[in-house]
Amino acid sequence: MAELRAERPVAMTCTDHQGSDAQCKSYSLVVSVLSQKQGSWLVSATAVEGASPASTAALRSNEPSDKKRGVPDCERVQAEWRSHCGSALSTRGQLLHCAFTLVATKQFLEEINKWTVQYNVSPLSWNVAVKFLMARKFDVLRAIELFHSYRETRRKEGIVNLKPHEEPLRSEILSGKFTILDVRDPTGASIALFTARLHHPHKSVQHVVLQALFYLLDRAVDSFETQRNGLVFIYDMCGSNYTNFELDLGKKVLNLLKGAFPARLKKVLIVGAPIWFRVPYSIISLLLKDKVRERIQILKTSEVTQHLPRECLPENLGGYVKMDLATWNFQFLPQMNGHPDPFDEIILFSLPPALDWDSVHVPGPHAMTIQELMNYVSTRQKRGIYEEYEDIRRENPVGTFHCSMSPGNLEKNRYGDVPCLDQTRVKLIKRSGHTQTDYINASFMDGYKQKNAYIGTQGPLENTYRDFWLMVWEQKVLVIVMTTRFEEGGRRKCGQYWPLEKDSRIRFGFLTVTNLGVENMNHYKKTTLEIHNTEERQKRQVTHFQFLSWPDYGVPSSAASLIDFLRAVRSQQRLAVSSLGAHSKGQGPEPPIVVHCSAGIGRTGTFCSLDICLAQLEELGTLNVFQTVSRMRTQRAFSIQTPEQYYFCYKAILEFAEREGMVPSSHNILAMESQ
């Protein structure tokens, strides 16, 4: 029998579990064609250095009993290959490749599905396994590492339950800032294009940008041709400036492409980079391995055609591809319909309901240290900060107000010009036997790294007292913050929706609210209330804080009292949450804090903005007031009503920093009140 050997044995790293401690050991298998018999190619797997006997036995378990030990015949390989890929094999090279592929894929699935069984989620499919193996040239161990990196990146950045037809992801996809061209480079690689001038960090939420990028890259690697031939990434900086650049996003995208996405990165072309880009690029390049750094080229626009033919480039980069970035990505939207993402279940099983990425308030671009903030305020002065607020105020709300403006709900709005957005409104549970709608003028608002940390709402009206307490009960609220008096300047600001005296009670339908005690502090009152649900026969305690030092007009002259009040609220929320047990261990979402003034946007927005900014300052030493307020207004429209309130946020942060010893005395900053 003539012996035929492959020109180059193909090495493959797999994993094996032995012993009670299930320690993972790596081994290699060399697949080679050994002999030809009666027109049938015989394929054998030979264990090499580092292989365990169990590893070799795992491959041999697939062989038919009537064949030479350890040698599955080509008919069996053909049948199994056809069952997965739907195509037949004929040549020696194809047989060699398919045997290699089958063994690697089975090993990969065996290891990954041990993990999925452990967490009671659906097993990974063959096609998904091949996608990860292709990206690592069927090196099983590296493919498993890639799988877990991909899963962890998606979990960390909130790339889960993507709904491309819903906002805000739909708008991000259709912005055209990132897309996949419908042409390939000469090697067959897909071409991805990021257009920097279309990216506006202060108007975008970073994790939504990453969601769009993941979604579109996934569409690209659905193609077997892309899996096989890889990806070329073009970062088009032509016509962009520093405000379009986001260093943190750039780091995440490169980390994704180099080690957390199932695609072979062929090269990265950075086109039209301005001079200032050298500094951030030098920072990013430190994170890259030499092998990845070698694939990055910084080019002038005129040099792009030296790396890709004109047939592969859009017109603005000297190519022939005609495309309208505003409409190009429409073609990608329908592909998600009816095709659930297999990774959603895998990622979601380990996610607590509220994670960093859920919130719009996460560290973003252009954050300032406290010293930079002090210099910024000193340079711009009060007039400049007021102008900055006008830039925010001029932005129209993104979303609709249909429910607030419905004729049947108008009487539930304290002010006709302060509706709440449909996409973030709190919905009451409709109950049988009751005629009330699900509407209340209240909005979920994110906190720093916390989804739905607050409910911003108006001061309750007499006809909405019951709705207010229903919301408190249904959302399991533990703390209520009130930043207004009942009357100010001779005008009614809020109704008396809770019993003021100890042991007094008020009934609101099946909810009875009892006053258990009042503490009078220097600048606020703290009342302990008990809610008794007579239908469910349950009782809960809620702490009510009323801030009393906000003047009838304008803002407080000093932020000290509000900072003390904020700390008291934070402390009570932590105490109340810890008493829940499970929530303190991350097993459930932390209940929101209800915050209201009169309209639920002015002082409410100021309180929440200050809480968010100080939380980030305490954790990272940086913050961005403009970004915080801009993002807050996407959830509670019109938050922070006046430039005085906006400036007060800056001033309060500086006062806090001075009290904490972060900066020297800021009397020069506070003296700007007269400027």
In this structure, the answer to whether residues 330 and 378 fall within a common structural domain is: no
More confident residue, 583 or 236: 236
**The pLDDT of residue 581:** 63
Q: Please give the DSSP secondary-structure letter assigned to residue 118.
A: H
Run of H or E including 336: none
Encode 341-364 in three state secondary structure: CHHHHHHHCCCCCCCHHHCCECCC
Burial of 525 (0-12, 13-18, 19+ CB in 10 A): middle
Q: What is the bridge-based pairing of β-strands 10-18 and 23-37?
A: antiparallel
- Please give the Cα distance from 164 to 174 (Å, whole number): 10
Is 576 inside a domain boundary?
Answer: yes
In this structure, the answer to whether residues 385 and 450 fall within a common structural domain is: yes
Residue 261 pLDDT grade (very low, low, confident, very high; cuts 50, 70, 90): confident
**The pLDDT of residue 153:** 81
pLDDT mean across residues, the chain: 80
**The pLDDT of residue 539:** 96
Q: How many CA atoms lie within 13 A of 647 on its CB side?
A: 25
**The pLDDT of residue 238:** 93
Is 71 inside a domain boundary?
Answer: no
Q: Please give the DSSP secondary-structure letter assigned to residue 266.
A: E
In this structure, the answer to whether residues 313 and 381 fall within a common structural domain is: no
- Please give the Cα distance from 407 to 436 (Å, whole number): 14
Instruction: Please state the pTM of the whole predicted model.
Output: 0.52
More confident residue, 336 or 226: 226
Listed in sequence order, the DSSP H helices in 86-205 are 92-118, 126-135, 140-157, 169-174
Residue-wise DSSP of 537-588? TEEEEEEEEEE--S-SSS--S-SHHHHHHHHHHHHHHHHHHHTTSTGGGTSS
Calculate ∠ Cα 286-287-290, nearest 5°.
Answer: 75
In this structure, the answer to whether residues 186 and 254 fall within a common structural domain is: yes
Q: Give the residue numbers annotated as catalytic, written as ranges.
A: 597
**The pLDDT of residue 594:** 99
Instruction: For residue 622, give its domain range.
Output: 368-580+588-660
CATH number at residue 465: 3.90.190.10
Which residues, including other chains, have CB under 8 Å from residue 17's CB and lie 6 or more apart? 23, 24, 25, 114
Run of H or E including 397: none
**The pLDDT of residue 424:** 93
Torsion of CA 22, 23, 26, 31, to 10 degrees: -10
Joined tokens for residue 109: 């699935």
Range with top average pLDDT, 41-55, 106-120, 506-520: 506-520
pLDDT in tens, 429-481: 987 666 578 999 999 999 998 999 999 999 999 999 999 999 999 999 999 99
Residue 90 pLDDT grade (very low, low, confident, very high; cuts 50, 70, 90): low
Joined tokens for residue 295: 């694939």
In this structure, the answer to whether residues 489 and 436 fall within a common structural domain is: yes
| Contact call for residues 96 and 33 (beta carbons, < 8 A) | yes
In this structure, the answer to whether residues 408 and 481 fall within a common structural domain is: yes
Run of H or E including 659: helix 643-659
Range with top average pLDDT, 76-90, 237-251, 274-288: 237-251
Residues above pLDDT 70, as percent of the chain: 76
Is 81 inside a domain boundary?
Answer: no
Lowest mean pLDDT, pick from 563-572, 617-626, 663-672: 663-672
pLDDT in tens, 32-57: 333 333 333 333 333 333 333 433 34
Is 492 inside a domain boundary?
Answer: yes
pLDDT in tens, 384-440: 999 999 999 988 887 889 999 999 999 999 999 999 999 899 999 987 666 578 999
Long-range pairs of 274-277 with CB within 8 A, sequence gap ≥ 24 = 274/237, 274/240, 274/241, 276/242, 277/237, 277/245
Which residues, including other chains, have CB under 8 Å from residue 4's CB and lie 6 or more apart? 33, 34, 35, 36, 92
In this structure, the answer to whether residues 323 and 381 fall within a common structural domain is: no
- Please give the Cα distance from 379 to 382 (Å, whole number): 9
Range with top average pLDDT, 139-143, 245-249, 588-592: 139-143
Number of domains, the chain: 2
Torsion of CA 147, 150, 152, 158, to 10 degrees: -140
Average pLDDT over residues 132-160: 84
CATH number at residue 282: 3.40.525.10
- Phi, psi (rounded to 5 degrees) for 170: -60, -50
Residue 92 pLDDT grade (very low, low, confident, very high; cuts 50, 70, 90): low
Sheet holding 442-447, edge to edge: 442-447, 450-457, 593-596, 479-482, 538-547, 524-533, 511-520, 505-508
Q: How many beta carbons lie within 10 A of that of residue 87, not counting itself?
A: 10
**The pLDDT of residue 95:** 58
Residues above pLDDT 90, as percent of the chain: 44
Question: 299: which strand partners?
Answer: 271
Is 404 inside a domain boundary?
Answer: yes
**The pLDDT of residue 119:** 64
If we measure between CA atoms, which residue out of 454, 655, 456 comes closest to residue 561? 655
More confident residue, 174 or 205: 174
**The pLDDT of residue 271:** 94
Instruction: Give the SS3 label for residue 183.
Output: strand
- Please give the Cα distance from 644 to 382 (Å, whole number): 9
Which of 342, 377, 398 is where one domain is finished?
342
Q: Cis omega (within 30 of 0) on the bond before 168?
A: yes
In this structure, the answer to whether residues 211 and 313 fall within a common structural domain is: yes
Which of 342, 360, 384 is where one domain is finished?
342
pLDDT in tens, 197-249: 999 887 777 778 888 888 888 888 888 888 889 999 999 999 998 888 887 78
Run of H or E including 46: strand 40-47
pLDDT higher than threshold 70 for residue 87? no
Tokens 């305020």 belong to which residue? 377
Q: Please give the DSSP secondary-structure letter assigned to residue 105.
A: H
More confident residue, 106 or 89: 106
Q: How many beta carbons lie within 10 A of that of residue 440, not counting itself?
A: 26
Average pLDDT over residues 6-13: 34
pLDDT in tens, 313-333: 999 899 999 887 667 777 777
Joined tokens for residue 507: 């009934």
More confident residue, 186 or 397: 186
Q: At residue 185, what is the residue type?
A: D
Is 535 inside a domain boundary?
Answer: yes
In this structure, the answer to whether residues 372 and 481 fall within a common structural domain is: yes
Joined tokens for residue 142: 């590296």
In this structure, the answer to whether residues 557 and 425 fall within a common structural domain is: yes
Is 266 inside a domain boundary?
Answer: yes
In this structure, the answer to whether residues 392 and 267 fall within a common structural domain is: no
